[in-house]
């Protein structure tokens, strides 16, 4: 633009110098403009990078918070489940100690160790299947002691013999002196041998149920121990 307003009386050297200065000025302005543009571009890039970094950090904090929330919810659910298992285990142990053990196992032990069942085991199945001799039977049951376990008196000979001749049975001499009866079916408990055998079967079923409950309790305790060890390992690792 300086060349346009040069006077016609200016020499060529002056015109060349003015043109050179104008060119340098244009180059300087262009360089300054380029630097400003680069500086603006750099500031914009830094601002964008800072904004992106902040967004990434915020997103990562949200992710971490979500993970922590999920882990916390998972841990709370695990604690609730573990507490429920412990409560069930405590109830089961309490029922075993208070109800099943005392009212069940002791009753089972009493039934198994009862003298009627013990005598039946001694005498074998013949004592259960022997017919009613019809002699010396008290309708109200025995009043003093159980009948003789060793013999059945023969009406013909009057001697104590084995329980083979049950068709003509009567009291032997020792039992007669004690006012007792040798008849197996004279015993009130043994007259109901079928019902007692049914009770014996119920006792076996109770024992099987108790064994199954004990096995389930042991499996539950083992599983809880493994889960507690796993949680402890996770806590130590975290």
* Residues 76/68, Cβ–Cβ less than 8 Å: no
How many Cβ atoms from other residues are within 10 Å of residue 136's Cβ?
20
Spatial contact of 160 and 151, defined as CB atoms under 8 Å apart: yes
> Percentage of the chain surpassing pLDDT 90?
1
pLDDT given for residue 144 in this prediction = 39
Both tokens assigned to 39 = 């500086």
Does residue 139 sit in helix, strand or coil?
coil
pLDDT band per the 50, 70, 90 thresholds, residue 215: confident
pLDDT, mean over the chain = 66
Helix (H, G, I), strand (E, B) or coil at 135: coil
Q: What is the pTM of this model?
A: 0.25
What's the angle, vertex CA 131, arms to CA 112 and CA 145, rounded to 5? 50
The DSSP result for 51-80, as a single string, is HHHHHHHHHHHHHHHHHHHHHHHHHHHHHH
Q: What is the Cα–Cα distance from 13 to 131, expressed in whole angstroms?
A: 157
State the sign of the Cα–Cα–Cα–Cα dihedral 120, 122, 128, 134: negative
CB atoms within 10 A of CB 230: 11
User: What pLDDT shows up at residue 150?
Assistant: 47
**CA–CA separation, 211 and 203 (whole Å):** 12
Would the pLDDT of 40 be above 70?
A: yes
Q: Answer yes or no: are the C-beta atoms of 144 and 179 closer than 8 Å.
A: yes
pLDDT at 145 over 70: no
Q: Is the pLDDT of residue 77 over 80?
A: yes
Give residue 139's pLDDT band: very low, low, confident or very high (50, 70, 90).
Answer: very low
Task: Point out the least confidently predicted range of 63-67, 116-120, 177-181, 187-191.
Answer: 187-191
CA–CA separation, 190 vs 146, rounded Å?
Answer: 10
């Amino acid at each position: 633009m300086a060349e346009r307003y040069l006077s016609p009386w200016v020499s060529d050297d002056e015109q060349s110098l003015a043109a050179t200065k104008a060119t340098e000025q244009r180059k300087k302005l262009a360089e300054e403009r380029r630097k400003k543009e680069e500086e603006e571009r750099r500031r914009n890039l830094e601002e964008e990078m800072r904004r992106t970094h902040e967004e990434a950090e915020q997103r990562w904090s949200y992710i971490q918070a979500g993970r922590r929330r999920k882990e916390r919810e998972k841990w709370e659910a695990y604690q609730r489940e573990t507490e429920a298992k412990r409560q069930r285990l405590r109830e089961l142990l309490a029922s075993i100690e208070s109800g099943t053990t005392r009212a069940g196992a002791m009753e089972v032990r009493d039934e198994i160790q009862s003298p009627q069942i013990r005598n039946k085991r001694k005498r074998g199945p013949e004592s259960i299947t022997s017919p009613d001799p019809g002699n010396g039977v008290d309708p109200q049951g025995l009043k003093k002691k159980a009948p003789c376990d060793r013999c059945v008196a023969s009406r013909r000979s009057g001697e104590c013999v084995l329980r083979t001749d049950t068709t003509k049975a009567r009291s032997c001499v020792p039992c007669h002196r004690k006012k007792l009866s040798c008849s197996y079916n004279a015993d009130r408990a043994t007259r109901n041998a079928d019902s007692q055998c049914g009770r014996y079967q119920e006792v076996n079923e109770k024992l099987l149920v108790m064994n199954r409950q004990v096995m389930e309790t042991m499996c539950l305790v083992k599983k809880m121990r493994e889960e507690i060890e796993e949680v402890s390992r996770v806590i130590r690792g975290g």
